[in-house]
Amino acid sequence: MRKILSQLRSAIEKYNLIEDGDKIAVGLSGGKDSLVLLSALSNYRIFSPVKFDLIAITVDQTNGETDFSCLSNFCEKLNVEFYVEKTEIFNIVFNERKEKNPCSLCAKLRRGILNSTAKKLGCNKVALAHHKDDLLETFFLSLFYEGRLSTFSPKTYLSNVDITAIRPLVFTDEKTIISASKDLPIVKNICPANHKTKREDMKNFLADLEKKMPNVKNQIFNAITSPERYNLFDKFLKNN
């Protein structure tokens, strides 16, 4: 966790992700990434130079059929308020709509509900658990399937809900998160499409590329984010 805290702090300071007086909602799905993010932010607020409040929101896609007591207990140990927002997302996506490619609609619905719930609870920011590998996978999904050089940003203002999305794990790779998540109360992913998506294809593509060209993922990440190169992140630097 020490390495993650160092990387999280670097991302927060470089992109000015957290400011004094922020009330931040962590989107807590129960997966390893969101659990590590919540744990890291909870630890970070102890020594943070700025003061901020932290809550956790779980979007229940099964309208009350999933047991989130392990997440509630986890949040209680961290002294973080925990909220569950019940929805019919699973039923809408898989039963009513019978989506063949459900990820886009599911993600859009979850994000919308998370943001509106955070706003209702008085938050001005939502922390998402997207990490370094997610950024690379998104970049190649956009390149291969949309013909664009694009990926998500470390910080995005959402004008439609007047809330800012931040991604404090943007410098942290998935291997480090897996290592830190071994003792966390991970909730089983019930999605029928899990590990059967285009994103999973990109994950495997990058893993194969890394075998042939060691350190290539770091090189690609640096090409996207380094201010010394033509990149996609310049406008998000704190001094701009």
Q: What is the pLDDT of residues 125-142, one digit of tens each?
A: 999 999 999 999 999 999
Examine the pLDDT at 191 and tell me if it is beyond 80: no
Examine the pLDDT at 106 and tell me if it is beyond 90: no
Place of tokens 């509106």: 116
Q: What are phi and psi of 57, to 5 degrees?
A: -125, 125
Average pLDDT of the chain, as a whole number: 89
Widest Cα–Cα separation across the chain: 50
For residue 55, give both structure tokens: 């809550």
Which residues are CB-contacts of 73 (< 8 A; sequence separation ≥ 6)?
Answer: 185
Q: Is the pTM of this model over 0.75?
A: yes
Give CA separation, 150 vs 142, 143, 145, 147, 201, in Å.
Answer: 6, 7, 11, 9, 18
**Containing H/E element for 2?**
helix 2-15
pLDDT value for 197? 83
pLDDT value for 60? 86
Spell out where the chain has E strands: 23-27, 53-60, 81-86, 125-127, 155-158, 163-166
Whether 91 contacts 109, CB under 8 Å = no
Q: For residue range 2-49, what is the model confidence (pLDDT) as tens digits? A: 999 999 999 999 999 999 999 999 999 999 999 999 999 999 999 999
Q: For residue range 214-235, what is the model confidence (pLDDT) as tens digits? A: 999 999 999 888 776 655 665 6
Range 208-213 average pLDDT: 96
pLDDT value for 62? 83
Whether 156 contacts 125, CB under 8 Å = no
End-to-end CA, the chain: 31
pLDDT value for 231? 56
Q: What are phi and psi of 163, to 5 degrees?
A: -145, 150
Cα separation, 36 vs 28, in Å, equals 10
Whether 82 contacts 55, CB under 8 Å = yes
State the amino acid at position 139 in one-letter form. F
pLDDT value for 89? 80
pLDDT value for 134? 95
pLDDT value for 77? 96
Cα separation, 155 vs 18, in Å, equals 10
Window from 78-87, 98-107, 220-229 with minimum mean pLDDT: 98-107
Confidence of residue 108 (pLDDT cuts 50, 70, 90): confident
Examine the pLDDT at 240 and tell me if it is beyond 90: no
